[in-house]
Amino acid sequence: MEICIHRGTHEIGGSCVELAHDGYRIAIDLGLPLDAENNDPKWLPNIAGITSPAEDFLGIIISHPHQDHYGLLAHVPENMPVAMGMAARRILDTASRFMPGPKPHLGNLELKDRQALTLGPFAITPFKMDHSAYDAYALLIEAGGRRLFYSGDFRAHGRKAAQFERLIAAPPAAIDCLLLEGTSLARLDEDQHFDTETDLEDQFAAAFKRIAGLALVFASGQNIDRLVTIYRAALKTNRQLVLDLYTSEILAATENAHLPQGHWESVRVIIPHSQSRQASETENLYKRHRCINWAKLHELGSKAVMLCRSSMINQLARSGNLAGAQALYSMWDGYLEDGKLQAQLDALNIPLTKIHTSGHADTPTLKRLVAALQPNTVTPIHSQHPELYESLFPNVVARTDGQWWSI
């Protein structure tokens, strides 16, 4: 089997790996680089079959529904075979109704936990992982008697930590090469652990108790683990969870009845101006979502936790009094760097506190995966610090973008 990382040997985002064997090729992930200023076809890696017709190219496997792993799917030929988890596909399909820009081609091949999918000479076995994206997989890819393990993005401190423990307890054997994500390297000391989602639940509950008015939480509508954490903390402190329509539709798209839903008694849904078109296109809107208006939201005040986004703040401020309101920030710090959200909140005298944990594995967790798999080689991917791998893991072979090698 021949392998080429087109993008990702020294950066986070824009992941794409091409594999070749016996005259056929496939790709794993087709992500948009994090620093791409737009979703332009110019970011496509040069892979025959994606950028030009080629019969030996069999399809694309998407490990999980994060933009830096699927973001360029809008630019692939319409009949391209694309595989991903079914819930991941429904989430991306739902999200595309709310997002500007071209719709991604989501394909129709299904990744199912621990069930091999065959594309030509490639057998692809997905392993469900704990990650901040829902329906995320690591991938075992076998061809010509060789075995590649792609970690995808993962962690072991989320609400699906049991998935990671299950993999560690019975790992696939005889791995020739492990492509290992290292997003968090250098963000944390080598022996330090990230806070768990359960830790965050306590931190949110303490904050909700402390806040005198409306609690505004800034979190991704697709970080399902985090939504559950916020929901549970809201329940503990007798606050209703108020979602925007987008987030409520994403939760419905999981088709997981254990996750909070917009029609639950303890949940309310608000339709911001920016989502009124989607609301008018939503079938059974009032049956599927317990909608409230802005006046009702302000009336709830200290009895509510509102999932907020920057685009909603003006409407929120215009529609009522925000005395005692506080904001909690539960996303990657980098999104705060432009200062825009802070300026919006400062203008309203709303203090901002951070409550967050990473969607990616800490170093002790990365080491546990390597120790369990005992791969012949470990190759860095999805990391800004490939140079750190050698001091942390055995048998490291770093590669450069565009370099082909064989196992």
Instruction: Tell me which residues touch Zn ion (CB under 5 A).
Output: 66, 133, 153
> Least separation, in Å, of the C-beta of 69 and Zn ion?
6
Beta strand residue intervals within 90-175, DSSP E: 109-111, 117-119, 122-129, 136-143, 146-150
Beta carbon nearer to Zn ion, 135 or 142: 135
Beta carbon nearer to Zn ion, 20 or 138: 138
CB atoms within 10 A of CB 404: 11
Q: What is the 3-state secondary structure (H, E, C) of 261-274?
A: CCCCCCEEEECCHH
Q: Which long-range contacts (CB under 8 A, 24 or more apart) does 206-211 make?
A: 207/326, 207/328, 207/353, 207/355, 208/233, 208/234, 208/236, 208/237, 208/239, 208/305, 209/237, 211/302, 211/324, 211/325, 211/326
d(CA 400, CA 274) in angstroms, rounded, equals: 42
Beta carbon nearer to Zn ion, 196 or 278: 196
Beta carbon nearer to Zn ion, 8 or 375: 8
Beta carbon nearer to Zn ion, 34 or 347: 34
> Least separation, in Å, of the C-beta of 220 and Zn ion?
11
What 3-state DSSP class applies to 250? helix
Beta carbon nearer to Zn ion, 133 or 378: 133
d(CA 30, CA 179) in angstroms, rounded, equals: 16
Q: CA separation (Å) from 292 to 13, 218, 241, 271?
A: 38, 19, 12, 8
Query: Under a CB-based contact definition with an 8 Å cutoff, are residues 300 and 293 in contact?
Result: no
Beta carbon nearer to Zn ion, 332 or 404: 332
What 3-state DSSP class applies to 241? strand
Q: CA separation (Å) from 125 to 116, 140, 245?
A: 4, 5, 35
> Least separation, in Å, of the C-beta of 310 and Zn ion?
22
> Least separation, in Å, of the C-beta of 64 and Zn ion?
6
Any idea what DSSP says for residue 324? T
> Least separation, in Å, of the C-beta of 131 and Zn ion?
6
> Least separation, in Å, of the C-beta of 234 and Zn ion?
26
Tokens representing residue 103 in the block: 């719709």
> Least separation, in Å, of the C-beta of 380 and Zn ion?
16
